[in-house]
Amino acid sequence: VVGEQVAGRNCKQCRDRWKILQQRQRFAEAVKSTEAIKATEEANTAEAVDVNEGVQTSKGATHDTCQESTVGNQCKRNPLCIRPARHAGLCAFRLEPDRTDSVEATRILARHFPDPNTLDIDNLVPLPTARTQTGYLGVYPGRKGRFQAQVLHRAIGGFETAYEAGVAVTRRLVEIARQNEVVEPENSTPASEPVPMAVHAYAPLRPGGLPVAMAVAASTLAADRVLPVVLASEGVIMATVVAVGGLQPMFM
């Protein structure tokens, strides 16, 4: 006999079995709750509508032009989040800094931020960023009051925020790319020749070297020109830089 009837009885076997039944019941309730949440999210995703095609799509569909952006059902916290509105937990991103081809990453980002002059340092939220030995480096578009770039004095030196450091690095990389006519291969990965370019870009970025608050002009790059991918080690810079002519450079 198990259950409340054996409560207080001095039978170890019954008590142990009762504990197991309680654990199984709690686990079943947790699974049921999780499945209900998952079913709700799947139903919301299944109703996603391609804003460009007007075609109703099923779960898991990949839109070539909008990356699963939806009408009235998209996450409002981050325009690149692929989860539905009012989702629980952290945002999810299709772009993964270490795996995504930077050319495609640029095109996806460009759909959301076509005008480099609209990026306001006081009106920001985080995007996925690359890890450095002293923090995270990234450009953060988004909503006011959510600017969370970390200070990287030790990593880069002399810049108040990661955003300013990123602008300076991007500006320098544009100059290098124009001088050397370096164009990233179409199917390259973020690991393509990282250190030499990063060290070269880092050299002039000491305090007082370059203006740090200036965005790269749209005319600086030719159309469809993509900057060389940049990574680094030894606490200098670690970021994947992607940019196309006429678009705001981004650090992934």
Mean pLDDT for back-to-back runs of 10 residues, the chain (252 residues): 49 73 76 73 55 38 41 63 70 44 42 43 36 34 31 38 51 50 47 41 39 30 35 31 33 34
- At 78 the pLDDT is 63
Does some domain include residue 110? Answer: yes
Residue 12 and residue 128 in one domain: no
For residue 153, the one-letter residue type is H
Q: Is residue 65 part of a domain?
A: no
User: Does some domain include residue 68?
Assistant: no
* Amino acid, single-letter form, for residue 150: Q
The per-residue pLDDT for 90 is 64
**Tokens 């955003």 identify what position?**
163
Domain membership flag for residue 90: no
Separation of alpha carbons 131 and 26, rounded Å: 39
Indicate whether 96 belongs to any domain.
no
Contact assessment for residue 243 and residue 216, using Cβ atoms and an 8 Å cutoff:
yes
Q: How far apart are CA 121 and CA 110, in angstroms?
A: 18
Task: Note whether 31 and 125 are same-domain residues.
Answer: no
The reply to whether 133 and 39 lie within a common domain is no
The answer to whether 128 and 95 are in contact (CB under 8 A) is yes
Cα distance between residue 41 and residue 108, in whole Å: 23
Q: Check whether residue 111 and residue 215 sit in a common domain.
A: yes
33 and 122 in a single domain? The answer is no
Same domain, 113 and 40: no
Whether 146 and 237 map to the same domain: the answer is yes
**Residue 135 sits in the same domain as residue 36:** no
The answer to whether residue 143 sits within a structural domain is: yes
Number of folded domains in the chain? Answer: 2
Q: 137, 251 in Cβ contact below 8 A?
A: yes
Domain contains 76: no
Q: Where in the sequence is the domain holding 114, given as residue range(s)?
A: 102-251
Domain annotation covers residue 59: no
